[in-house]
Structure 1
């Protein structure tokens, strides 16, 4: 993990409260970072913000 990802404003979805399988997301300029909440020391994935929006919109349908 880089120092940069450690200082991001990570948040867990309200849908993940009390669940064992959680992910955390953090905003980046023009991207969204995604990591495993149980293993935050591992590398985070980075997606273009537009791709993340499409994924979330698709899940809401």
Structure 2
């Protein structure tokens, strides 16, 4: 997976955020401070709706 971190990451090392990885039908989400721990897998339409709601 190719993990991406927001350019708006906080903290000195930029590790105070989540990372996402696009998959075929889902978006994987993980904590950038603990990348070896569990990830969430969210269907793309639900993830996009979440992003739209955040931007409002």
**What's the CA shift string for 1:13-38, capped at 9, x where partnerless?**
11115355210000011100000001
Unmatched 5+ stretches in structure 1:
1-7
TM-score, length basis structure 1: 0.80
Unmatched 5+ stretches in structure 2:
none
CA distance in 1 between partners of 2:31 and 2:15 (Å):
11
Note the 1:10-49 alignment, pairs <5 A.
10-18=3-11, 19=14, 21-49=16-44
TM-score, length basis structure 2: 0.87
- Secondary structure (helix, strand or coil) at the match of 2:8 reads helix
The structure carrying a bigger helix percent of its residues is 1
